Structure 1
């Protein structure tokens, strides 16, 4: 989390790190736990493509990921979810804890997140959640494409 905090503080980004005693396993659990809309939860998925790894930041209310649409979006030959060990290798953390901020990984972002003043997502550390403005998430990542 030091790298995340360093980026946030160097860029003077308003944020809050929320600690919780239980692991949050789904967008719905996160929405219930924090008393927020499902759409404000922002899970970060890691995709394996024929052109390397990408992060995909979704709104919790997005629904199922359409891999065929993703192929068309960035003209991938192949795209699928990265395996747990690949996620750890690429991000340094486990599935479910992946940070919202990964400046070294090309990112696809769900525009649906931009309708909220704050979104809630991973920090890279279990049992902590980052509360941040979605425009700041967009600014801190290497966004190469958008869904919605």
Structure 2
């Protein structure tokens, strides 16, 4: 992807595309026809399992107001107690906090290229899949990667951060 192709993309997607390019990632963001604000919408649009969607969930750490990003499998729910045990007490992050800390709106939060680097954890459940897809900075933007690419791209640890499936 060169500069001219980037300029037609939304700002957030341009940031993500540049970050991917800078890190030598082989896949560029793609824009979906319909919004993929939820893991299910993204999976339906891509024709994949909902678990293959790498959801970006933002929490607000209470001790220092830092953004905590949990990248989790689309078919799992984050266990806040497990997250808190790793990073300290967290609370819900509202849309204004998410936008200020990440530079992205809810429904398009990418795992990388944040306005301010978050504390990041990667859900080990993503490693059930060979290929996953993550948001690329816009509700219509996504990019393809492997779970191990998340470690390389974010430098974040893999952790047990989800509820046990019923």
Q: TM-score range by the shorter chain?
A: 0.7 to 0.9
Answer yes or no: is the 8 Å Cα contact 2:120–2:156 preserved in 1: yes
Name the structure 1 match of 2:81: 68
Name the structure 2 match of 1:86: 97
- In 1, Cα distance between the equivalents of 2:141 and 2:133? 10
The TM-score, its normalising length taken from structure 1, stands at 0.87
Name the structure 1 match of 2:69: 55
Q: Provide structure 2 residue ranges, at least 5 long, that are not aligned to the other structure.
A: 1-12, 162-166
Aligned length: 145
Q: Give 1 or 2: higher strand fraction.
A: 1
The TM-score, its normalising length taken from structure 2, stands at 0.78
Report Cα offsets for 1:32-70 as digits up to 9, x if no partner: 22111111011101110124211110101113x221222
Q: Provide structure 1 residue ranges, at least 5 long, that are not aligned to the other structure.
A: none
Answer yes or no: is the 8 Å Cα contact 2:17–2:29 preserved in 1: no
Q: CA deviation at 1:145?
A: 5.3
Q: 5 Å matches for 1:104-143?
A: 104-143=117-156
